[in-house]
Amino acid sequence: MTETPEPDRQRWRVLAVCLAVGFVSTLDVSIVNVALPSIESSLDAGPSQLQLVVAGYTLAFGLTLVPAGRLGDAGARRTLFIVGLVGFALFSLASGLAPTDDLLGLARLLQGASAGLLNPQVVGLIQQLFAGPERGRAFGLFGATIGVSTALGPLLGGLILAIVGSADGWRWVFLVNIPVIAVLLPFAWRLVPPPPSRRGTGARHLDLVGLALLAVVTVAVMLPFVTTTGRGDDPARWWWLALGAAVAVVAVAWERRYQRRTGAAVLDPGVLGLSSFRNGALLGMAYFAGFTGIFLVATLFLQDEVGYTPLQSGLVAMPFAVTSGVSAWFSGRAVARQGRRLVVVGLLLVLAGMTAADVVVRTLGDEPEVVGWALAGALLVAGTGSGMVIAPNQTLALAQVPVASAGVAGSMLQVGQRVGAAVGISVILSVYYGGLASGVDASRATGRAMLVTIGLVAVALGVGLLDLRSRRAQRRPGVAADA
């Protein structure tokens, strides 16, 4: 039984629009990576400007998530969805037409902010429109979308560069969003419903101070990681973490006081008090730290060291995208029965695939004709497991969250994922370039970086096992989804 009176077909049509939006917005996290050499050549961009093009999007994305989730829960979900979609189109156009690297960096910041407006509304709509096993299936499709778009980014970017050419191909990496959104916007306008009406005063309060404090914490925590290149980075950037920790203490104190006074704090103690949510957030952060980084280090190795083209290196990641999408679909149907066990099995498969990728790089790194095929096979195994992790974990983390808090809870999960990805990429880059600088050959440097990804996924597995044990201890008759 659904939590709104929306007709069944209508709900699935809304979901289709949400999935398309989620695909486009997350695709832009990774698709630009293969276009960086083209941008550097075309706009004479330096390392700082290139880092802003990549990191600026991620930083603005993460910064906007929690405020957008809270505003969506307060009644502005449909409005933010439309505004975010229009903004994403406009700033994609501005990115594609940017005449200078500085303007491109600015456009990417605003494009990331628009994506941050959109994503919490997608999660909130799934919570609003679906319940029970149907919610698991809907999140399964959403997880498949996230996993596939992340893995397909380098492939689609390489394909665009191969068709258009390296001189202007990078512009079409951004401009390709325009026709997609032009098709989506009329459907979003007609189909996306407002949040269900709620009585009481809680929804009328907006914790502006709490939102501002959380924004400062998000920026301070993410900034030193998203600005890490692994090559001559300023050590002073780590002082941002101290600022983030200090402001976090102030934010917690403020939120407790605001909750006692109004019952409408951004960080709802009722949500944070759910062990299912906390464990899901920690698992997602650790997993994204490892899973996102493997594509970066594989792309660097295949293009810089083996000599693959952007399209060839993107094709190596395609099996991951295909198998993660298929397994996410089936996992969405199975999560109601299998619960956290499903995620644990998925993490074991990811670890097996990543370990195999490490062995492939170390043993076949100097054989270009073989290494791509072998690495694709290892990623196929990892992709099968990944589809069993992302969507089921999100379903389990949000299962007990009230619909009225769905947007902000979902955005908090995604902030954790963005922070995790930034941390993982920062450490992986440092290990990879540090190995090369010390005179280690490329295969061993890549292998060391992959060991970092394996360690981070192992941390996620540890959290999953602890959560599984906790759920079994608390299990009541008839609560199979929490098994």
Contact 457, 283 (CB under 8 A): no
pLDDT of residue 481: 42
Give pairs for 14-19: CB < 8 Å, separation 24+: 14/125, 14/129, 14/191, 14/192, 14/193, 15/125, 15/126, 15/129, 15/130, 15/138, 15/141, 17/184, 17/187, 17/188, 17/191, 17/192, 18/121, 18/122, 18/125, 18/126, 18/142, 19/141, 19/142, 19/145
Distance CA 293, CA 397 (A): 23
pLDDT of residue 296: 76
**406 HSE (CA, 13 A, CB side):** 25
Distance CA 407, CA 343 (A): 23
Residues 6+ apart with CB under 8 A from 198: 404
Assign 3-state DSSP to the chain and report helix, strand, coil percentages, each to 5. Answer: 85, 0, 15
- For domain 8-190+205-477, the CATH class is mainly alpha
The model carries a pTM of: 0.79
pLDDT of residue 49: 74
Q: Buried b vs exposed e over 347-379: b needs ≥16 C-beta within 10 Å?
A: bebbbebbbbbbebbeebbeeeeebbebbbebb
Cβ neighbours of 200 (radius 10 Å): 9
Helix locations, 132-238, DSSP H: 132-164, 169-175, 177-191, 208-226
pLDDT of residue 476: 54
Amino acid residing at 290: G
pLDDT of residue 114: 93
pLDDT of residue 205: 65
pLDDT of residue 1: 39
**122 HSE (CA, 13 A, CB side):** 31
pLDDT of residue 181: 93
Residue 291 three-state SS: helix
Regions of the chain with pLDDT less than 50: 1-5, 199-203, 478-483
pLDDT of residue 9: 79
| Longest pairwise C-alpha distance within the chain | 66
Q: Hey, what are 147's tokens?
A: 């996993």
Q: Which residue has the tokens 């989506």?
A: 184
pLDDT of residue 479: 45
Residue 93 three-state SS: helix
